Amino acid sequence: MVVHHTLSDFIDCDFPISSSSPSYWYEGRCLQSGVGATRRRHRLKLPRTSISEAIAHGLMQQLAKNDCYSHEGKMYGILLVELPNGEQRVLKAFSGLLNGCSVVEGWVPPIPGRDEVALEEARTLAQLDAIKQELFTLRQLTERQQYETLSNEFEQQLQAMSDRHRHCKHQRQEKRQQICNTLTKEALTIGLEQLDEESRQQGIERRQLKRQQNAVLQPLQQLIAATDARISELKQQRKALSRQLQAQMHATYSLTNFSGRSLSLQQLMPGGLPTGTGDCCAPKLLHYAATHNLKPLAMAEFWWGASSVNQDKIQGKFYGACAERCQPLMGFLLSGLKPKPSALSPARGEVGGEVTLPIIYEDEWLIAVNKPAGLLSVPGRYSDRQDSVLSRLRHLLPDGMALASVHRLDQETSGILLLARDRQTHRQISQQFQQRQVHKVYEAILSGAVTVERGKIELPLWGDPENRPYQKVDWQHGKPSLTHFRVMARGQDCTRLEFTPLTGRTHQLRVHAADARGLGVTILGDRLYGCCAVTSRLHLHARELRFEHPQSEKTLHLQAITPF
């Protein structure tokens, strides 16, 4: 089965190879044993570069031509490799199964091990399917609705009876008062006994209705309780079967790294791994390359197809190694891979050896860099999102730990990012941003025609906490946002614009461009807000920043050439 593909299968032969920094690093630390008790941790890395992203976009175009890839959302990945003769080839992989199949022509095969448990897997999957069907039937139990209906009817009858008895009790109290004032001796005794008998009869009536309620509802309650117990039992069986099958798979799935060492998933993570570990794109690609003497150069993974409610994935967006399944394996998988000397050596005004960050301005109080697209401004919440401008500068500069970012740019936005080197400077610059005293200019290419020459956009923006990081126009909850714009140039299917935001809301320019109440045209490459064009990046660049230097009190005007 052919799984090696030429670059021309995905991109044009004259594709311009960018020298820009990698947008992401697949990395891990592999524990190696040394002499005696000496042990060292080696940091291992593999980049996602512009060429690998371009190849991935080419694969996206191929997937878009076939509807079968859109129905079932999943991760896809490509690995750019070098053959022993120096030629470059492309491997492609999908996570899990593709239309129910693990082996598909042209795609990297699954990691060895599944065949050994195929029979047990089929048997267990059949059991799980039977449990699923029984659970579905039990959850559709008609007696549940019957119980609810009858229970409501009895409650209504009891309420009506209580209201009637309360009224009768009030009448009896009035009648007792009346006969006590008008009757004597035997007549009074008879009258009071009649009232007491009426009270007793109403008590009997209520008890009879309660007994009738219990007689009707109790059998239904017992049936529902037995059904719920069976459902709970089936869920436990399902969990036990899944764990048993997963343990068998983890014991048989064998991964090989570039040192030639092979270990099962169970050996790699004896504490246990989530379901699906070993079936993701990155382990498939790296294992295949290691076992076929192929040298990895760059890798890229993206989501394609529908996204379930729990996944919250965006079609066409690149993602790094997942924290639960892939990241714990990265150190082992990359072990033995010899690092390629970086073609980007640090130049004057730049920091970093593997990835350069051009310094636009620097003094003892401030530092401004030209952030590349794809790099976070500050570290994210999770372990796979720690790489950022701030973390790199903190690692590379002698006074780096004192640095603090005074504002942020979206991960996919390039351009000027300003950082303070002490707390007082950070406070002074931050105050200028808050008071809207900082002049910001962005340049963008929009994926369509903008008919007006210039204008302003005022829309209230709100970030839905259930759908982060997506922002939307919301007139009830949104915060005010204001942007001035002017057209710089027009192309056949695009418009180059200059944006001057007066506020700094999250995704402000992206929403102001995409929303019909703004310009109604998405920024080129902005898949989050609906751009379908295949391109290597978000075409939004923070071009200029003008503010008052907190120490010299002179106006500082920073500029960074737009890279597109």
Q: Would you say 295 and 339 are in contact if contact means Cβ atoms under 8 Å apart?
A: no
Which structure tokens are listed for 409? 């740019």
Which ranges of 303-406 would DSSP assign to H, the alpha helix? 327-334, 389-396
Backbone angles phi, psi at 215, to 5 degrees: -65, -35
DSSP character at residue 242: H
Which candidate, 442, 548, 412, places its Cα nearest to that of 504?
Answer: 442
Angle at 181 between CA 178 and CA 187, to 5 degrees: 85
List of long-range contacts for 524-532, beta carbons under 8 Å, 24+ apart: 524/444, 524/445, 524/446, 524/447, 524/494, 525/412, 525/447, 526/412, 526/447, 527/314, 527/315, 527/316, 527/317, 528/314, 528/317, 528/469, 528/470, 531/447
The 10 Å Cβ neighbour count of residue 275 is 13
The span from the first CA to the last CA of the chain, in angstroms, equals: 40
Alpha-carbon gap, residue 497 to 484, rounded angstroms = 10
Catalytic site includes residue 312: no
Which structure tokens are listed for 438? 């900082």
DSSP character at residue 487: E
Which one from 279, 410, 515, 526 is the annotated catalytic residue? 410
Which structure tokens are listed for 123? 């048997």
Which structure tokens are listed for 489? 């140039």
Q: How far is CA 82 from the centre of its chain?
A: 32
DSSP 415-483: EEEEEESSHHHHHHHHHHHHTT-SEEEEEEEESS---SSEEEEE--EEE-TTSTT-EEE-TTTPBP-EE
Q: Would you say 308 and 316 are in contact if contact means Cβ atoms under 8 Å apart?
A: no
Which candidate, 365, 387, 367, places its Cα nearest to that of 376?
Answer: 387
**Up-side HSE of residue 490: CA atoms within 13 Å toward CB?**
9
Alpha-carbon gap, residue 68 to 76, rounded angstroms = 14
Residue 109 amino acid letter: P
Alpha-carbon gap, residue 147 to 220, rounded angstroms = 6
Which candidate, 317, 301, 533, 337, places its Cα nearest to that of 410?
Answer: 317
Backbone angles phi, psi at 515, to 5 degrees: -70, 140
Residue 465 to residues 381, 471, 503: CA-CA distances in angstroms?
Answer: 16, 9, 21
Which structure tokens are listed for 496? 């180059």
Q: Would you say 6 and 294 are in contact if contact means Cβ atoms under 8 Å apart?
A: no
Catalytic positions, written as ranges: 410
